[in-house]
């Protein structure tokens, strides 16, 4: 199988994977999301088929972030988080560079071959750039992304015989987790990963381009359950404080219990979240491992 060079991959920002792969299999199963005909039937399907995971088993490991938490980690602009302790292991986003991702995975004891599900939040290089490693080395991984994602990347996934899940409506990912469905934004459409737990939902965002408040609202529209944690990039890095304070207010109104902003949230906004949430602010960044002990 021909390997695509890094230079080729980074020729464009949204279409990384250029050129066909000689001899690649074409036996992928192209899935939409469930057999649903409307948002409401998609939501009903999720609530019928998902089960709450026990928070005691869940381990969230931030593998890639421009915000540094643990000093021996490699850091670069982007985001990636591993979710363990569910029925399947999930990798949410892959950061910009596979070498940085791989190095951090190794240091944090996450085995790439044990990842069952790859969920990419949106088609920006700092979230999908490291995905090549999984496409090249996995034979049975499921890849979930929004329907509007670049066609070159989707083609790569299919040509490698991997299972591609193109998401528009809310969609089941594993027995304990689901996608919010594709949420529209003029920068990039995006979806977020939601884990249902016995202590409330855990929501992981990539850049939250459609808005972190909107993502929480969408999650609650699906589950009508408490929100234990929102973590990831909130994309308010250029805000001088006014917008962030409104977001904090709305998230508290929505009952978001714990918060772990990083990546594109921005230093000033993170500071505002820290003050507003006090002991329920979780300091995050690359190398951070979040477990049940953080929710006491
Ligand atoms: Fe980002
Ligand atoms: Fe982005």
- Compute the distance from residue 125 Cα to the ligand 2 centre, in Å: 8
CATH number at residue 36: 3.60.15.10
Say what the pLDDT of residue 37 is.
57
Which residues are close to ligand 2, an ion, with C-beta < 5 A?
A: 124, 207
- Compute the distance from residue 190 Cα to the ligand 2 centre, in Å: 9
Residue 43 lies in a domain: yes
Residue 21 lies in a domain: no
- Compute the distance from residue 64 Cα to the ligand 2 centre, in Å: 14
Half-sphere exposure of 270 (CA within 13 A, CB side): 17
Q: 130 — alpha (psi -120 to 50), left (phi > 0) or beta? A: alpha
**Measuring CA to CA, how many Å separate 175 from each of 72, 194, 207?**
34, 11, 25
Contact indicator for 104, 73 with CB cutoff of 8 Å: yes
Say what the pLDDT of residue 2 is.
38
β-strand pairing of 79-84 with 90-92: antiparallel
Mean pLDDT by runs of 10 across the 296 residues of the chain is 38 35 36 62 92 97 98 97 97 97 97 95 97 84 96 93 94 96 96 98 98 97 97 94 96 98 97 98 98 96
Residue 22 lies in a domain: no
Please tell me whether residue 126 adopts helix, strand or coil conformation: helix
- Compute the distance from residue 144 Cα to the ligand 2 centre, in Å: 17
Q: How far is residue 204's CA from residue 196's CA, in Å, rounded to a whole number? A: 12
Residue 214 lies in a domain: yes
Q: How far is residue 282's CA from residue 160's CA, in Å, rounded to a whole number? A: 38
Which residues are close to ligand 1, an ion, with C-beta < 5 A?
A: 126, 207, 264
- Compute the distance from residue 49 Cα to the ligand 2 centre, in Å: 30
Residue 218 lies in a domain: yes
Residue 6 lies in a domain: no
Say what the pLDDT of residue 133 is.
81
Residue 27's CB is within 10 A of a number of other CB atoms, namely: 10
Contact indicator for 49, 41 with CB cutoff of 8 Å: no
Whole-prediction pTM value? 0.90
Residue 1 lies in a domain: no
DSSP output for 23-57: T-------B-STT-SSHHHHHHHHHHH--PBPGGG
Domain containing 271 equals 28-291
Ligand nearest the Cα of residue 233 is 1
Say what the pLDDT of residue 36 is.
56
- Compute the distance from residue 125 Cα to the ligand 1 centre, in Å: 8
Say what the pLDDT of residue 11 is.
38
**Measuring CA to CA, how many Å separate 206 from each of 33, 125, 141, 296?**
20, 11, 20, 25
What letter would DSSP give residue 4? Answer: P
- 187 burial type by CB count under 10 A (0-12 exposed, 13-18 middle, 19+ buried): exposed
Contact indicator for 162, 141 with CB cutoff of 8 Å: yes
Residue 56 lies in a domain: yes
Number of domains in the chain: 1
Torsion angle (degrees, nearest 10) of CA 16, 22, 23, 26: 40
């Amino acid at each position: 199988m021909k390997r695509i060079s890094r230079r080729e991959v980074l020729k464009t920002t949204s279409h990384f994977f250029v050129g066909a792969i000689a001899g690649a299999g074409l036996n992928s199963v192209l899935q939409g999301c469930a057999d649903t005909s409307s948002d409401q039937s998609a939501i009903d399907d999720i609530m019928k088929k998902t089960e709450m995971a026990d928070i005691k088993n869940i381990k969230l490991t931030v593998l890639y972030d421009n915000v540094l938490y643990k000093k021996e980690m490699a850091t670069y602009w982007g985001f990636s988080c591993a979710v363990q302790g569910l029925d399947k292991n999930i990798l949410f986003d892959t950061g910009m560079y596979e070498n940085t991702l791989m190095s951090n995975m190794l240091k944090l004891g996450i085995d790439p071959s044990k990842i069952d599900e790859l969920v990419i939040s949106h088609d920006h290089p700092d979230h999908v750039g490291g995905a090549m490693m999984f496409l090249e080395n996995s034979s049975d991984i499921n890849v979930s992304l929004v329907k509007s994602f670049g066609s070159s990347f989707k083609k790569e996934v299919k040509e490698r015989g991997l299972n591609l899940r193109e998401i528009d409506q809310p969609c089941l990912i594993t027995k304990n987790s689901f996608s919010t469905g594709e949420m529209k934004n003029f920068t990039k459409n995006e979806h977020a990963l939601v884990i249902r737990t016995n202590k409330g939902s855990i929501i992981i965002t990539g850049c939250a381009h459609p808005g972190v408040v909107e993502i929480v609202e969408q999650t609650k529209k699906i589950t009508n359950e408490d929100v234990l944690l929102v973590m990831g990039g909130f994309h308010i890095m250029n805000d001088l404080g006014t917008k962030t304070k409104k977001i904090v207010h709305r998230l508290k109104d929505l009952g978001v219990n714990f918060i772990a902003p990083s990546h594109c949230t921005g230093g000033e906004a993170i500071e505002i979240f820290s003050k507003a949430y006090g002991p329920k602010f979780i300091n995050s960044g690359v190398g951070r491992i979040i477990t049940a002990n953080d929710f006491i």
